[in-house]
């Protein structure tokens, strides 16, 4: 079984001692009750991994002997999930699921029919998503913690779509009105995929038209209508099976 992963911004060279403290140290030492002699994989969240052994344990703090360092290659295609803001009780769940399923970048979107409204509290919402992404990345032992972008309005999203299409990305807006299938997109040939997930109330007609005009493919993910909090994870699972991500 792979060693548990914890995150440390600055991982020292092999042979040196790393100190894990703060929230990560508290989780490792107090919540997980990690003890001397246990093996831990350290990551900086940006691809660097280091095998280490606990040589000292105190309350909220571990000291670890670093055995080696290596760089995990990014998985291709890179996947951005544009997530319309879910209801507050499902918001962080959506982030956790898409992180565990392999999202590389998460973009919160204030869509027209979103029940949640971040206009006055975007910073707080983004910080919660970043915390949820880090926790889920640790749980799934990822070398890369997904970045959570700033809040996007529809005009921002359309600019993102146009720029991505100009660079050759596949952009898929997942919607029940789609005439094509997600599985029919050229996913395996693309270096970047953008998944757009609408809110509980769905994408409105103006958004669908604007996204299509910007170059997005409006596609059907599967035979059932999924919750906004689970759609990205399902799409990422299908993408993993259809490409070399898995």
Instruction: Dump pLDDT digits (tens) for 198-214.
Output: 999 899 999 999 999 99
Q: Annotate 165-184 with DSSP letters as a single string.
A: HHTT-EEEEE-TT-SEEGGG
Checking if the pLDDT of 1 tops 50, the result is no
Task: Render the burial of 44-58: b for 16+ CB within 10 Å, e for the rest.
Answer: bbeebbbbbebeebe
Q: Where in the chain is the domain with CATH 2.40.240.20?
A: 5-71
Correct CATH for 5-71 of 3.40.50.2300, 3.30.420.40, 2.40.10.10, 2.40.240.20: 2.40.240.20
- Determine the pLDDT at residue 2: 56
The mean pLDDT value for 110-130 works out to 94
**Average pLDDT value for residue range 231-237:** 97
**pLDDT value at 147 more than 50:** yes
b (16+ CB within 10 A) / e for 169-196:
bbbbbbbeebeeebeebebeebebbbbb
Q: Which residues are 48's β-sheet partners?
A: 71
pLDDT, residue 212, reads 97
> Selecting from 1.10.760.10, 3.10.440.10, 3.40.50.880, 3.40.1280.10, what CATH number does the domain 78-242 have?
3.40.1280.10
Give the residue from 157, 72, 160, 68 showing the smallest Cα distance to 110. Answer: 157
Q: What is the rounded average pLDDT of the residues 6-25?
A: 95
Residue 95 vs residues 128, 129, 140, 224: alpha-carbon distances, Å: 10, 6, 13, 21
Q: What is the dihedral of CA 215, 172, 206, 231, to 10 degrees?
A: -170
Q: What is the mean pLDDT of the chain?
A: 94
Residue length, the chain? 246
Residue partners of 108: CB distance under 8 A and separation at least 6 = 83, 85, 118, 122, 125, 126, 129, 148, 149, 150, 151, 152
With 0-12 / 13-18 / 19 or more C-beta atoms within 10 angstroms meaning exposed / middle / buried, residue 102 is: buried
Ramachandran quadrant class, 119 (left: phi over 0; alpha: psi -120 to 50; beta: rest) = alpha
Note the pTM of the prediction, 2 decimals.
Answer: 0.93
């Amino acid at each position: 079984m792979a060693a548990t992963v914890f995150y440390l911004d600055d991982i020292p060279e092999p042979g040196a001692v790393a100190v894990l403290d703060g929230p990560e140290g508290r989780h490792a030492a107090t919540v997980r009750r990690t003890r001397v002699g246990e093996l831990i994989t350290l990551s900086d969240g940006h691809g660097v991994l280091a095998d280490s052994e606990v040589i000292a344990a105190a309350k909220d703090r571990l000291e670890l002997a670093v055995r080696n360092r290596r760089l995990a290659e990014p998985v291709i295609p890179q996947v951005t999930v544009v997530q319309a803001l879910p209801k507050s009780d499902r918001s962080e769940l959506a982030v956790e699921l898409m992180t565990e399923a392999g999202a590389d970048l998460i973009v919160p979107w204030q869509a027209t029919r979103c029940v949640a409204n971040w206009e006055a509290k975007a910073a707080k919402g983004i910080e919660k998503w970043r915390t949820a992404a880090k926790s889920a990345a640790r749980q799934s032992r990822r070398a890369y913690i997904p970045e959570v972008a700033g809040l996007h309005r529809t005009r921002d999203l359309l600019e993102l779509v146009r720029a991505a299409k100009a660079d050759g990305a596949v952009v898929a807006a997942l919607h029940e009105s789609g005439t094509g299938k997600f599985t029919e997109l050229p996913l395996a040939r693309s270096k970047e995929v953008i998944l757009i997930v609408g809110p509980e109330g769905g994408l409105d007609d103006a958004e669908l038209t604007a996204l299509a005009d910007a170059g997005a493919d409006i596609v059907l993910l599967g035979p059932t209508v999924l919750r906004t909090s689970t759609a990205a994870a399902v799409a990422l699972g299908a993408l993993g099976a259809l490409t070399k991500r898995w």
